[in-house]
Amino acid sequence: MREETTRSSQKQVFAIETLVGGVFLLLSILVITFVSPIYVFAAIGILVAGLVALYFAFSLRKFVWFLLITKPLLDLTWRWRFFTVAEQGVNFQTILGVLVIIVTALALFFRRKQLIVDIKLVLFLACASFSVLLTPTSWGINELVRLLAGVSFFFTVGVVLSRKDSFNRFAKYFVLTVSVPVILSFLQQAKILPFEYWDWIGSTMIGRVSGTYQHPLGLIYFLVYAVPLALYLLTKGSQPLRYRLLLWLFIGLSLVALTFTYHRAGLVVIGLEIWLWMILTKKYGRATLLIVLGCLLFVWQKDSLLLLYENVFDILQGRVAFSDDEFLRGRGMNWYLFLDSLFSSHPLFWLIGRGGSVVEGFVPKFGYWSSNEPHNDFIRILHAYGLVGLGLYLTILVSFFWQSLYLRRRQDVFSRDLGNLMIIILVAIVLLSITTEPMRYPTGVWYLFAIGSVVSVQYRQLRRTHKENRDGSQELL
């Protein structure tokens, strides 16, 4: 039945593309003598891009599989900046994001009944779009494109990866591709490849590995998803020993690479992910062993860890004020600046936001400051999309969490593992959102809503089955 539906869709898209292409070709021939050939070629390029997007809208399985699996490799092209629009550089990632939005929009138009639609997500995107359109800025539009592209995967991925075998295959290939930047991190640490990011630890300037992404967070966001997926794959008891050893090797190398990023929050969060997985899968012995190993590591590297987290210990001891430039390495004054920018404006903006994340103003105990990074995703969403936008975003996260709790109470092993996986990822994203901006990075938002889509489809299927069984039992009575 599915194959017949696929063939019907392919015939339909072929007919539409042939008709549109033929009409456009005829019009091009008619006007080519009246306008510059450059405009004709540009129009043909737009047509080809549109036809490709239309093809992918009817071939979602290929499109979703290709992007989700190859994104760790595609993001290595971040230097490929083609041109600039309104002071915003357009690179390969930007083009992919726009393509995702167009393909999803076409799929929703032509195949809405076959996709997943959630009113909360629709309202969130509508709210964000309204906020940006009301106070348009190039930076706000840039952020909106990233958000729309990431959330778009919720509507499509659940259809493609809802089956256990499909999801397992995705997890396996995703871990495989993420291993590439992990290996590149070791080449950076060995100084075979140059560092992309330098920072101060104490009074020493050090290079921080990033897997050759622009920032260490590029690698960390991939590991936030790849490490739990590797742990998930290890629960499949039928796997050969060599395969399981390779998964453990990936996890071990990822943790070593993570250490060389010197990212304080990333180290804590991914370590917590591994521990939570042991707890949720009832491997309490391993969870206890991890705590013991963590304590031994702290004793062994006490001086290095105290230096790395020196700023945190200063805050706990009350030595640093909130708006001081030493509060979480300057994050406190950024939080103050963005909150003051929003709540010192008209109350209407409290609800709908300012549409972007570029502010300037006076910070107590520091002076004048301008910033385009609040270093807190909740504050960023609040400033850009207001209390309404932040409320809808938190509602979506709570909905994912509730659905995951429901799944992990089921007898079906795949549902339980999927619920555990999503809970761990949600905890990681929420914690990282305190000092970073996951929803601003394509990786953070893409895979959160992609896996959330699979969770939502599984939740709806189980609820539907439960309702049908209950109705059937009532009819028998």
Which structural domain, as residue segments, surrounds residue 1? 1-58
| Contact present, 389 and 353 (Cβ < 8 Å) | yes
Determine which of 10-24, 34-48, 175-189, 346-360 has the lowest per-residue pLDDT on average. 10-24
| Contact present, 59 and 155 (Cβ < 8 Å) | no
Q: Pairing mode, if any, of strands 367-371 and 204-208?
A: unpaired
Clarify whether residues 152 and 241 are in a common domain.
yes
| Contact present, 227 and 271 (Cβ < 8 Å) | no
Clarify whether residues 44 and 78 are in a common domain.
no
Clarify whether residues 35 and 72 are in a common domain.
no
- pTM for the whole thing? 0.88
pLDDT at 2: 45
> Last residue of some domain: 18, 35, 58?
58
Question: Within 326-412, where are the H helices?
Answer: 331-343, 347-352, 377-408
Task: Indicate the average pLDDT of the chain.
Answer: 84
pLDDT digits (tens, 9 = 90+) for 10-58: 555 555 556 555 555 555 555 555 555 565 556 666 666 676 777 777 7
Clarify whether residues 333 and 284 are in a common domain.
yes
Clarify whether residues 74 and 54 are in a common domain.
no
Clarify whether residues 175 and 31 are in a common domain.
no
| Contact present, 189 and 211 (Cβ < 8 Å) | no
> Last residue of some domain: 37, 58, 79?
58
Clarify whether residues 299 and 161 are in a common domain.
yes
User: For residue 392, what are the contacts with CB-CB under 8 A and spacing of at least 6?
Assistant: 120, 123, 124, 127
Q: Which of 427, 422, 471 is nearest to 449 (CA)?
A: 422
Clarify whether residues 304 and 432 are in a common domain.
yes
| Contact present, 111 and 13 (Cβ < 8 Å) | no
Determine which of 100-104, 108-112, 460-464 has the lowest per-residue pLDDT on average. 108-112
pLDDT at 1: 42
Clarify whether residues 259 and 114 are in a common domain.
yes
Clarify whether residues 113 and 210 are in a common domain.
yes
> Last residue of some domain: 42, 58, 74?
58
Clarify whether residues 33 and 65 are in a common domain.
no
Which one has a higher pLDDT value, 94 or 313?
94
Q: What's the CA gap between 342 and 353, in Å, rounded?
A: 7
Clarify whether residues 134 and 275 are in a common domain.
yes
Got the DSSP string for 221-232? HHHHHHHHHHHH
pLDDT at 3: 45
Give the number of domains in the chain: 2
Q: Is the per-residue pLDDT at 399 higher than 70?
A: yes
